[in-house]
Chain A
Amino acid sequence: MKRHLVSAADLSRDDALLILDTAEELAQLSGRAVKKLPTLRGRTVVNLFFEDSTRTKTSFEVAEKRLSADVINFAAKGSSVSKGESLKDTALTLQAMGADAVVIRHHASGAPARLAQSDWLHGSVINAGDGTHEHPTQALLDAFTMRRHLNPGLGKDLNGRRITIVGDVLHSRVARSNVLLLNTLGAQVTFVAPPTLLPIGIDNWPCEVSYDLDATLAKSDALMLLRVQRERMNAAFFPTEREYSRRYGMDGLRMARLPEHAIVMHPGPMVRGMEITAEVADSPRCTAVEQVANGVSIRMAVLYLLLGGATLADNHSTNTSEAAK
């Protein structure tokens, strides 16, 4: 595997399966009395969150602590960043403090890539969501959840499975990472959204596009709803919430038209009544809560595979100490 996880496109099929299989083993840990492994003892992981996030940040923090890493939470609000410090200076500060990995969420698309390509940090960079670009660990946990329901077993992929992703594709980093990863794993992705919420250039993505949710229901093995991101909307992308809900919202009638084995997924937080009715959200076919639990296993797997073995940072310090002799 590469040293960083910035984009789902960085993952080969083998890498992706290695992460999913590792997460499957690590998932056992949540059932034990002692939910801790000594694997990352002595490693320092910094959660660098320039954007508000509760579930992703908590999920990473739980994963880091279960692997015994030293965790530093660095929120931009109230820190030197709000005083005008640049990303470079923040990174150099973290490097000086000996960070072995930086989990970064940033409002600017490409910030984690900038950090990974620079020589400001010797540690690994893990993208926890950048702007409207990517959120690879979310895509991995979604794929993990789909595999558990649709094709369970170690080493299995999602070959031939049909996944429908509904909602605000334009502002969604989850959709971008998902289409890349699901394509790597052999699944066919269909996006369903109002034309105003589809990005320009989606024709070049490895997916199909539809404006009609009802037409795609019967041939979906998994239906993933995306959150309508009001905070990123600076214009009217659809007339009213009621109309959006009527055309793209998931309710009991639509759920009944899905195949028997199909699951309904949501990355959270759910906007009940608009994207999803309470009936669907609380049904056993909705995997939203399960996705949260799987998120911890996936993030543990990524942290272990990037940091658990010998890293470039180790080699770097070995070389320096050898040079000093």
Chain B
Amino acid sequence: MTTQTDTPRPPHQVLDGADISRVITRIAHEIVERAKGAEDVVLLGIHTRGVHLARRLHAKLTQITGREIPLGTLDITMYRDDLRLKPARALEHTEIPPTGIDGKLVILVDDVLFSGRTVRAALDALGDIGRPRAVQLAVLVDRGHRELPIRADYVGKNLPTSLREAVQVQLSDTDGQDAVLVGDRDYAARSSQALAAPSTPE
């Protein structure tokens, strides 16, 4: 008999395109409410999917407030604490709005909040670029397992997960569709092994 932990769980969808769209609308309204009209807000998307989410949030905020909110992108590669564990990676494009971030309310946007190390790196990067009035964090999914004292201000969905699970955010800009999937981290490898292994009578 196989126990439940031995069975690889296929990725299943927890959010679909309509859900993601609703989540972005809700976060945009929350931003306007908390930032009292979002007058000094600057949105910064963290590469890669955070940038696409920031663009969508930007469009929604423009629609709600009727004003153009400054939008930029942030690559945190040079600030990562695991740089020495992997080969050097190519850099992504960092673009700070021409008005800068000094004295502004910077809202960092990312897809998944997990250990918190990416956000830590982003805060370090911001410190070198300028001095914001305040920094807030908006994420599509908070999956827990924080390794640093960091929390998000705007959360699309709290998704309690186990460490053996992987959360995959798909966005139409890069992946062809909008969805959030949760499944076993090594599902593909384990299921192919299961297929390859000769069946044994139980």
Contact = CB atoms under 8 A, between A and B. Distances in A.
B86 A309 contact: yes
A127 B86 CA distance: 24
B86 A32 contact: no
Interface in A258-306: 304-306
B36 interface: no
A186 interface: no
Contacts of A311: 84
A37 interface: yes
Size bin of chain A's contact surface: 20 to 34
Contacts of A22: 90-91
A38 B78 contact: yes
A18 B87 CA distance: 13
Contacts of A306: 88
B194 interface: no
Size bin of chain B's contact surface: 20 to 34
Nearest to B75: A25
Contact of B94 (A28, A33, A307): A28
A20 to B, nearest CB: 11
The dominant DSSP class at the B interface is loop
B124 interface: yes
A308 B79 contact: no
The dominant DSSP class at the A interface is loop
A309 B128 contact: no
A34 interface: yes
B102 to A, nearest CB: 9
B83 interface: yes
Contact of A310 (B75, B85, B92, B94): B85
Given A25-B75, A25-B94, A36 B128 contact: yes
A53 B24 CA distance: 56
B133 interface: no
Nearest to B128: A34
A139 B132 CA distance: 40
A304 B88 CA distance: 7
B89 interface: yes
B129 interface: yes
A39 interface: yes
Given A25-B93, A33-B130, A38 B79 contact: yes
Contacts of A21: 90-91
Interface in A94-110: none
Interface string B79-116: 10001111111111110000000000000000000000
Given A38-B79, A307-B88, A310-B84, 5 more contacts: A25-B75, A33-B130, A34-B127, A37-B79, A304-B78
3 interchain residue pairs of minimum CB distance: A309-B88, A308-B88, A25-B91
26 contacts: A1-B88, A18-B90, A21-B91, A22-B91, A25-B91, A25-B94, A26-B91, A28-B94, A33-B130, A34-B127, A34-B129, A36-B128, A37-B78, A37-B79, A37-B128, A38-B124, A39-B78, A154-B93, A304-B78, A309-B83, A309-B86, A309-B87, A309-B88, A310-B86, A311-B84, A314-B84
